[in-house]
C-alpha cells in the first residue's frame, strides 16, 4: 500500500517551499521517522521524515524544485520487497535493511559535507541526540588537531600571539578569461530581496543618527561581569542594556512601536523586540517577546540561544513571528556607520555599530572616549522627524547613564 510523503503545514505565513536535498534515493529501505528530504522556506529550513516504513518507491519532486504545502514529494511502498507485513512485524523491531540515518540539521549536513566529516561519528548535542552545526565544527577541529604534528616549544610561543586569518589562495586564471557562475538564490535569500524592495517602495524611510559615549556602560559591565556570570552562568553583554533603553524610549514615543494598517495606526501596548542575527543563508530576526518583562539575564540568555539556533538552522516559526521593533548590530562585523532598512510592518529599527575610541570635546577639553554611532530608520508616514530625533536622544541618555535604566 503506498504512503505519500507530503509538504507539511509549517505555519500560516508559509505556503510554499523548495526541495533543498533528498537524503535518500529511490529504492532505499526506510524506517518510520527517518529523515528523507530537506526543504527550504523563506523563514526556516526543515526535514521531512518518513511517515511509515517501506521502500522509497518514487521521488516526485527532485532537488531544486519549488513545491507548495500539501504537494506530494514522493511515495513509500509499505509492502515493498524486504518489508514485512504489519501482521508479521514484532513491536519495536527495526525494518530489515532500513538502517536509520543520523539525525542532523541541514546546516550540520552542509558543514559535514564541506569538511569531509562522517556524521555517524559525531555525537549530537541537540534534542534527541540531533547533530548540530557546532558538533560538526567541533569534530572537524578535533580531527585537524589530531592530524597536526605537535608543535615544539619555540613555536608554542608564536601560537599565543594573535594573528590575522590567512588569505585564501587566489584562483588560477588565464589572462582574458571571464569566468562566471550562475548560483540560484536560496528561498530565504530570494524572499529577503523581495521584501527589501517592497519596503523601499511602500514606506517613507528616513534615517537619523547620533553618537553614544560608552564609558559608563563599559565601566558598569566591568564592575558586574564576574558576579553576573557567577550568578547566571552567562556574560553580561550590551544587548540587554540597549533592549531596556529602547523600551524606555518607546514608552515616551509610542508611535515608533506602532504599525500602519490602511489609514489607521495600530498602537501596541506591548514590546516584542526583534534582534537581527546573521546566518549563513541571510539575516533572520528572532523576537524577544514581552521584552519589557524580561530581566537582563533573561535577555542575554535568550539572545545567545537565538544566535546558536540561527547558526544551527534550528530557529522555529515561533521564534521569528511578529515583533514591534528591531535592533540590528552591524558593529559585530566591524561596521562604523550604516542606514538599516525597516523590517515591515514595523516602523522603526535601531542600528548599532562598532565602538571606537575617538577624541571628543568634554567640558572644554579634548578627551579620548569609547564612542558608538547609532542610527534610527523610521517610517516618516507616521513618525515625525522630531520624534525620531528625540527617541534616539533618549536612548543615548539611558545608555550614557545606565543606572537610570533601573528607573524605567
Residue-by-residue pLDDT tens, the chain, 408 positions:
789 999 988 776 678 889 988 999 999 999 988 889 989 888 788 889 899 999 999 999 999 899 998 999 999 988 865 555 544 444 444 444 444 767 777 777 777 777 778 877 888 877 667 788 788 888 887 655 444 444 554 444 444 445 566 777 877 888 888 888 898 888 888 888 888 888 988 999 999 999 999 999 999 999 999 999 999 999 999 999 999 999 999 999 999 999 999 999 999 999 999 999 887 667 889 999 999 999 999 999 999 999 888 888 788 888 988 899 999 999 999 999 999 999 999 999 999 999 999 999 999 999 999 999 999 999 999 999 999 999 999 999 999 999 888 776
Catalytic residue among 63, 290, 380, 401: 380
Catalytic residue among 63, 290, 384, 401: 384
How would you classify the pairing of strands 72-77 and 54-59? antiparallel
| CATH number (domain holding residue 114) | 4.10.320.10
Write out the DSSP string of 117-166. Answer: --GGGSPP-SGGGPBPHHHHHHHHHHHHHHHSPPPPHHHHHHHHS--PPP
181 in a structural domain = no
What's the pLDDT score for residue 86? Answer: 47
What's the pLDDT score for residue 139? Answer: 83
- Residue 61 catalytic? no
Q: Are residues 302 and 236 in the same domain?
A: yes
What's the pLDDT score for residue 301? Answer: 95
Domain count, the chain: 3
Q: Are residues 82 and 126 in the same domain?
A: no
How would you classify the pairing of strands 273-275 and 325-329? parallel
Enter the C-alpha cell of residue 41.
522556506
Q: Do 357 and 213 touch, CB atoms closer than 8 A?
A: no
286 in a structural domain = yes
Q: Are residues 313 and 396 in the same domain?
A: yes
- Residue 213 catalytic? no
46 in a structural domain = yes
Compute the distance between CA of residue 14 and CA of residue 227 in angstroms, rounded to an integer.
44
Q: Are residues 52 and 18 in the same domain?
A: yes
Compute the distance between CA of residue 318 and CA of residue 304 in angstroms, rounded to an integer.
17
207: β partners? 377
Which domain covers residue 220, as residue numbers?
205-407
362 in a structural domain = yes
Q: Are residues 233 and 351 in the same domain?
A: yes
* pTM of the complete model: 0.75
What's the pLDDT score for residue 143? Answer: 53
Compute the distance between CA of residue 231 and CA of residue 210 in angstroms, rounded to an integer.
34
What's the pLDDT score for residue 265? Answer: 95
| CATH number (domain holding residue 25) | 2.40.50.100
Q: Are residues 223 and 358 in the same domain?
A: yes
What's the pLDDT score for residue 308? Answer: 87
Q: Are residues 110 and 257 in the same domain?
A: no
Q: Are residues 38 and 115 in the same domain?
A: no
Q: Do 31 and 95 touch, CB atoms closer than 8 A?
A: yes
Amino acid at each position: 500500500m503506498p504512503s505519500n510523503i507530503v509538504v507539511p503545514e509549517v505555519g500560516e505565513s508559509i505556503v510554499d517551499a523548495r526541495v533543498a536535498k533528498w537524503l535518500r534515493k529511490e529504492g532505499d529501505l526506510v524506517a518510520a521517522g527517518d529523515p528523507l528530504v530537506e526543504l527550504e522556506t523563506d523563514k526556516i529550513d526543515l526535514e521531512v521524515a518518513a511517515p511509515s516504513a517501506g521502500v522509497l518507491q518514487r521521488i516526485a519532486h527532485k532537488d531544486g524544485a519549488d513545491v507548495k504545502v500539501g504537494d506530494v514529494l514522493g511515495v513509500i511502498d509499505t509492502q515493498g520487497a524486504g518489508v514485512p507485513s504489519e501482521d508479521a512485524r514484532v513491536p519495536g523491531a527495526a525494518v530489515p535493511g532500513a538502517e536509520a540515518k543520523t539525525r542532523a540539521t541541514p546546516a550540520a549536513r552542509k558543514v559535514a559535507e564541506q569538511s569531509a566529516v562522517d556524521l555517524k561519528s559525531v555525537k549530537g548535542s541537540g534534542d534527541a541526540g540531533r547533530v548540530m552545526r557546532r558538533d560538526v565544527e567541533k569534530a572537524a577541529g578535533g580531527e585537524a588537531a589530531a592530524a597536526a604534528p605537535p608543535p615544539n616549544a619555540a613555536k608554542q610561543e608564536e601560537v599565543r600571539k594573535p594573528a590575522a586569518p590567512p588569505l585564501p589562495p587566489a584562483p588560477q586564471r588565464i589572462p582574458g578569461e571571464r569566468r562566471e557562475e550562475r548560483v540560484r538564490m536560496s528561498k530565504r535569500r530570494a524572499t529577503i530581496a523581495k521584501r527589501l524592495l517592497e519596503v523601499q517602495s511602500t514606506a517613507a524611510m528616513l534615517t537619523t543618527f547620533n553618537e553614544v559615549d560608552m564609558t559608563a556602560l563599559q565601566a558598569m559591565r566591568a564592575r558586574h561581569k564576574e558576579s553576573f556570570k557567577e550568578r547566571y552562568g552567562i556574560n553580561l553583554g550590551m544587548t540587554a542594556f540597549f533592549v531596556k533603553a529602547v523600551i524606555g524610549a518607546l514608552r515616551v514615543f509610542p508611535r515608533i512601536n506602532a504599525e500602519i494598517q490602511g489609514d489607521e495606526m495600530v498602537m501596541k501596548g506591548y514590546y516584542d523586540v526583534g534582534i537581527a542575527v546573521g546566518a549563513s543563508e541571510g539575516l533572520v530576526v528572532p523576537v524577544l517577546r514581552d521584552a519589557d518583562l524580561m530581566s537582563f539575564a533573561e535577555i542575554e540568555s535568550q539572545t545567545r540561544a537565538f544566535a546558536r539556533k540561527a547558526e544551527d538552522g534550528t530557529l522555529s516559526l515561533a521564534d521569528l513571528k511578529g515583533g514591534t521593533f528591531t535592533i540590528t548590530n552591524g558593529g559585530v562585523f566591524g561596521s562604523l556607520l550604516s542606514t538599516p532598512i525597516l523590517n515591515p510592518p514595523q516602523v522603526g529599527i535601531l542600528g548599532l555599530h562598532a565602538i571606537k575610541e575617538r577624541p571628543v570635546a568634554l567640558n572644554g577639553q579634548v578627551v579620548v572616549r569609547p564612542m558608538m554611532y547609532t542610527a534610527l530608520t523610521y517610517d516618516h508616514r507616521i513618525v515625525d522627524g522630531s520624534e525620531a530625533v528625540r527617541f534616539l536622544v533618549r536612548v543615548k541618555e539611558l545608555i550614557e547613564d545606565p543606572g537610570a535604566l533601573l528607573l524605567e
